[in-house]
Amino acid sequence: MKRLVLFDLDGVLLHSQENMRQAWDVVLEKTNVQRPFEDYFGLIGRPFKDIMAHLGVTEEVARIEKIYMTASFDFLSQATFFPGVRESLAEIRDMGVKMGVVTSKDAPRTKAVLAQLDIRFVCVQSPNDRFRGKPAPDHVLVAMAEAGEDPADTLFVGDMETDWQAACRAGIDYVHASWGYGKPITSVPAIENISQLPNHIQNHLP
């Protein structure tokens, strides 16, 4: 049986595309970055510094990140939970299954978002200087250790290829959130909306 479900945040629990777009517009206005939002958005799922490296931005990355994060906080009201998130998380909680979050969103914004949910997450992992970000498995492995669960008992729910890669490298099962921001992944189990997740978990129960 699955004893722990780990969620990505943006694109799985949180519909934050407009928040990201507005924050990126501020970056374009206040810095020399000239890459369009679509280039940035296509790389989400990785830590911000990794996205900048992929975009070829090598100078003043810390300043750019601070501008982006500050603007994202200012526009946080533009990010809302996907339909059914609150109800589905409550149902999973009532099944006795632990839940955690493994996200590439920084810790302050993650904390502010999750504070809006009446759900206890046993582990929350955001980018830091100690571990590699997705698609590396580091944060997934740490989350399982914090929750006291093994890979065989854990399920990861993500929407980007980086989520799937992190799950594979951590040795855990993965289900793809088709309502999210990433493309479908061939031969990977997927669900159309989060309300299907409790039944998907139930199918793993004895």
pLDDT (tens digit per residue) in 94-136: 999 999 999 999 999 999 999 999 999 999 999 999 999 999 9
Pairing outcome for strands 80-81 and 98-102: unpaired
| Cα angle: 157, vertex 18, 167; to 5 degrees | 15
| Angle, vertex CA 73, rays to CA 146 and CA 114, nearest 5 | 35
Please count the other Cβ atoms lying within 10 Å of the Cβ belonging to residue 113. 21
pTM for the model: 0.94
pLDDT, tens digit (0-9, with 9 covering 90-100), for 148-193: 999 999 999 999 999 999 999 999 999 999 999 999 999 999 999 9
Query: In the β-sheet with 154-158, what is the strand arrangement from edge to edge?
Result: 123-125, 98-102, 4-7, 154-158, 173-177, 190-191
Which residues sit opposite 124 in a β-bridge?
101
Q: What DSSP assignment string belongs to 130-155?
A: SSPPTTSSHHHHHHHHHHT--GGGEE
Residues 140 and 6: beta-carbon distance below 8 Å: yes
Asked whether the beta carbons of 4 and 153 are under 8 A apart, the reply is: yes
Can you spell out the DSSP letters for 89-123? HHHHHHTT-EEEEE-SS-HHHHHHHHTTSS---SE
Please tell me the predicted confidence (pLDDT) of residue 206.
44
